[in-house]
Amino acid sequence: MSYCGLNHIKHRKIIDDMVEKEFITRNNESWGSKTIIKYKVSEKGREILKQILEPYEMLFPRSEIGVDLNDDR
């Protein structure tokens, strides 16, 4: 979850909803005595990305420089 910034405990409902709606897939892997949960974007999730986020990015492209939060202008 470090890739997208969601906290597995705090955002559990959001993550579960995304798995239920098949936007992402959940894979549990054993790692010694622990279990690691890995998530992956599904094909359905990629389609949503193309339908919603790509047109948004065309309308409002990201600045390559970034935003200066200390700029008072």
Q: Write down the residue that tokens 């549990």 correspond to.
A: 28
Instruction: Answer whether residue 73 is part of any domain.
Output: no
Tell me if 72 is assigned to some domain: no
For residue 65, being part of any structural domain is answered with no
Question: Does any domain span residue 68?
Answer: no
Is 71 domain-assigned? no
Nearest to 20 by CA among 3, 42, 4: 42
User: Considering the domain boundaries, does residue 35 fall inside one?
Assistant: yes
Whether 41 contacts 22, CB under 8 Å: no
The pTM assigned to this predicted structure is 0.66
Q: What average pLDDT does this structure show over 7-25?
A: 92
Residue 69 counted as domain residue: no
For residue 23, is it within any domain?
A: yes
Mean pLDDT along residues 45-49: 92
- How many domains does the chain fold into? 1
Greater pLDDT, 5 or 60? 60
| C-alpha to C-alpha distance for 12 and 10, rounded to whole angstroms | 6
Range of the domain at 27: 12-59
